[in-house]
Every structure is written in structure tokens, then in C-alpha cells.
Amino acid sequence: MPYAWKWKSWTVIATACLSGYLLLPSLLGLPEKRAALEAAGQPLPAAYHLLPAKGLSLGLDLQGGIYVEFQVQIEDAIRRKVDVFGNQITRDMKEKGIAPAAVTQPTTGHLAIQLASDAEANVLEDVLRQYYRRVFPRGLPNRVGEGVTVALAMDEAYRNELRQQVVRQAVESVRNRIDRYGVGEPDIRLQGGDRIAIELPGLKDPDRALSIMKRTGQLEFRLVDESKKPVELEALIAQARQTHSIPEDYQLETVRRLNEVLQSQLPEQREMVFELIRDPVTRKATRGIPYLVSARAEVTGDLLESAQVSIYNNEPRVVFQFDKTGAKLFGDLTKSNVNRKLAILLDGTLMSAPVIQEPILQGSGEITLGAGDYQSTLREAEDLSLVLQEGALPATLTEATKTVVGPSLGADLIRQGFRSMLLAALVVVIFMAVYYKASGLLADAAVALNVLLLLGALSLFGATLTLPGIAGIILTIGMAVDANVIINERIREELRSGKSVKTAIQSGYGNANRAVIDANITTLIAGIVLYQFGTGPIRGFAVTLSIGILTTLFTAVVFTRVVYDYIVQRWNPQRLSI
């Protein structure tokens, strides 16, 4: 036999065997069985080590899950960033022996620094030129009484760059949290300029996953101002709620509204936060204890090095450790404020307010979660440690849209999708067998091999099969049949002209190949464009269509030709059933 024929034959056999090997775990349901055995801590049978660990991945519309779009609150991120700069500038000024009277952020992206004299303003200008020239190009001093207030505005170019950075960091943070949570095959992408679109197929507990994803994770340490007792604050809050129709809850927006209304009745540079008292069973907030704290954080969770769950007296809690810089700042803070209360805030809610008994120089601490059901408290501690470990989100995420697809709906979609695919294949098989006889059966075998190779390629490359992807497979079947029809018609023409079977096959393929390749390549280009510029379902359709075009060319041009060549060389028939 010619060398080229042998090479093509072994290529066909190898690709078919490889595709079957890649699909075997999915056909036997091994990924689910493997996960169950690993969860139970049982050893895996030897056969599991011989087969791929993952099977064919199913998309959100097939196995159920959740689709959500988060809006990135970029202005909140800019406000926090400016607060960080305010803290850094304050520290830089103190190192030069100057303590600003106040550092405030009157509007987003602007700082107002109150100083005692023009000399101090000149020192501030030196600090800005040395460290913050790119952020705050210049300060505008304004004399107020005997003091000087320097107004700083964030550079617009830096602000635009910060916006883009915030969105990129938010996407990366969400991806890291999902990976740590253990969701298989997530699809996370940027939607427009400030939205994150997320698909999480096969999710068992969507509410918990959403809570982890959108939890900002902003850990702050602020000193407690005890000039007003909780009883006094509660009286002010009750009056404000009644006068201004403020809801009886403790949402962040409600707390922000209360602080705005009571600003004139609170000490300068102070604001209220609440420690939530939760029901031990449902973990829902039943009431809130108000505290008066510094408006700006002394130390933040950006300087954390690690966070992990610890069990003490059968109560789960989160133990954290600062990095070198954070440990120094935390040590200085506790050293200067012994016997004062230190509020530990997470996302604006007070977790605890312990008294600083002595300086904490080793840079570690813990967050308690209160009494309650052990399993729910442990899960809450695990989620919190995950959020802190992966780092705080650079901006708050709010749900713009959410769609939950149930697993039963996914099963129905799978059933309907495969029924449609089998029906289409059955109609094609019958038509080809009736119209082209034995050659039609060979074309049917090529179509079956085509689907096998296509599903094997999806498994190999880790692509996700979706409902539009099944539509792409159905279209691929049609394209594969079309290629075989062109080839068979060319062979028929050659046989009618009186040529031998061998010559008719050679001429038929020679004349048909160009038309087959041209038609499939133009469709492949369309599939690539759909994948490049499409989103979600369109990309799922484009993936299966593009891979299907390549497998169609292989089965129609290579596989069927190999079979014809084998028949001619083995039996040299005088007639061809076509």
C-alpha cells in the first residue's frame, strides 16, 4: 500500500480513538462519581487514574446555575483611594513635625487639608511635589481666619487611569474568589466599561456565592469616640428616623443617610457605625448598637498578609496577620491608644470594639462572629477569611441583573437539545442511505465520526457545551452532509462519463475538494468573527461551529477518501453503489 494511504489511515484511527478516550468519562458519569468519592475522603479506583479527570463541560443553560451582572461603583473606589492618600499625606506631614488640623474629602476626588500657617502650607507643597505630583498636580491655598486650607484636586488623567484599574482589579478579585470557592468552568468577562458579567454553571448555593463575590471586604480599624454614649446616640437616631422618614434598618445606605442628617449634632470628624445583634439561628440582624468612631480609618485591611479560620472555645473566628508595614502602623496605633476602644469594621459594619489593653506589636488580631449555630458561623468565618485572604474589592459591586437557572430546567434543555440533534441526524442518515446507497452509508459514518471528533475536541480544549453549541453541532451535521453530497455528485458525473471506479473517485475528489474547502473556510471565517465579537450564547455557537468545520473537512476529505481507496485497492470493484 502507498505510504500516504497508510499515514492517513492511522491518522483517522488515532483521532477516533483519542476522541473516544476523551469522551469516555462523560459517557460513564465519572466526574460526578470522582467528586463524590473525593468529598467522602475515599480512595479512587485504579480506572479513574487511567482516564481524564474532567469530562465534557456543560454550560449554564444545560446544567443550571446563575448568571449575574455586577455594576462596579467606580466613584466609591475613587473616594476610598483619596482617603488613603489623605492618610498617607498626614503621616508624611507628621514625619516633618506638622500635624494637620483636619483632612477631609468635601467631594469625590478632592482633599481639603487644614493647616495652621503659610509655612506649614509650604511644607505640604514640598511633600506633594516629592511624593504626589502625579496624583495632585498642585494645591490651592485659601486663608481662613488665622489658618490656611489647601484644596487638592485629583489629576483627571490619573483619575481616568484609576477608573480602568479599578474595573480590572474588580474582575481579577471576583475571579480569584470564585476559583477559591470551587466553581467549575466559570465564565467571567467585562461587559461594557463598568459591568462584570458572570456565569456560574452547576452552582448548588447561589446566594452564598453571590455574597462572597460582591462582599467588598474592606477591613478598617478606627478609634471609638466615647464622648457620646450609645443611649444618647439611640435617642438622636430615633428622632432622625421619625423626622426624616429613614427606614428602620441598618443597610449601608441607611447608615450613610443617618450620618448626613445628624452631622451637625455629632463631633467633627466623627461618624456613627452599628454593631449588629443577630438571631443565633437565622443570623439576621435584629437590632443595632450605635458607636461613634473616627471618620477616617487609622489602618486598613489592604496591609493584611494572611487570614484564616480558628476555633476557640468551640466558636469559629477569623485570625489575621498584617504585613511588615501594617504591623508597624497597627503597633503605633495601639501603643498610642492604650485603654481606648478600637472599632474593627468590615464593609462599614462594626464587628467588635475591644479595649486596647496593651500595645499589639506583633501585627496580629482576630475577628469574632458572635454566638450562633456552629455550622453557619463556621461557614461565615470561612467565607470571611476567603474574602480577606484574596483581598478587598477596589469598589463596591451592586447587582444589575440576575438570572437563576434550575438544574431541572437544565436537564429538560439537554433532553430537548439532544432529541433535536438525534432527529436531525436520523433524517440525514435515512436520506443519504436511500439516495446514495452504500456511498450514502459511508457518508453517514463520516457524519457520526464528525460528531465524535467534535465532542472530543470540546473536551480536549476545555470548551463548554451550551444550548447554542448544540445548535452549532446540528448545523455542522448539515455542513458535513453537504460536503459529502458534493463529492458523491462529482463521482456520479465521472462514472456517467464512462470512467472506471478508481479514476472516477480520483477525479471526483479532485474536482470537489476545492468547492468543499472554499465553502467550509468561508463559514469558518464567519465563526471566528462571531467568537471574536460575540458574547455568551453567540460565542458558544461559534466555538462548536468553528471546530465542526475543521472536523467536517477532515472526515469528508480524508476519512471517506481513505475508505474508498481501501475498497479500490482491496477488491478493485467494477461498479460503485452510489
Class of domain 57-64+406-571: mainly alpha
User: Which pLDDT score is estimated for 386?
Assistant: 66
User: Which pLDDT score is estimated for 370?
Assistant: 63
User: Which pLDDT score is estimated for 2?
Assistant: 56
* 97 burial level (CB within 10 Å; 0-12, 13-18, 19+): exposed
User: Which pLDDT score is estimated for 1?
Assistant: 47
Spatial contact of 271 and 265, defined as CB atoms under 8 Å apart: no
User: Which pLDDT score is estimated for 145?
Assistant: 56
Cβ-proximal residues to 220 (8 Å cutoff; 6+ apart), any chain: 297, 299, 300, 301, 344, 345, 346
* Range with lowest mean pLDDT among 52-61, 190-199, 250-259: 52-61
How is the chain split into domains, by residue range?
Answer: 57-64+406-571, 75-158, 219-368
Residue with the larger pLDDT of the pair 195 and 31: 195
Q: Average the pLDDT over 431-435 and give the result.
A: 87
Domains 57-64+406-571 and 75-158 share a fold: no
CA distance 233 to 565: 92
User: Which pLDDT score is estimated for 326?
Assistant: 82
Residue 40: DSSP 8-state = T
Report the alpha-carbon angle 32-34-39, nearest 5.
Answer: 95
Q: Average the pLDDT over 452-471 and give the result.
A: 83
User: Which pLDDT score is estimated for 187?
Assistant: 77
Q: What length does the chain have?
A: 578
| The domain defined by 219-368 carries CATH number 3.30.1360.200 | yes
What pLDDT, in 10s, does the model give residues 67-77?
Answer: 888 888 888 88
CATH number of 75-158: 3.30.70
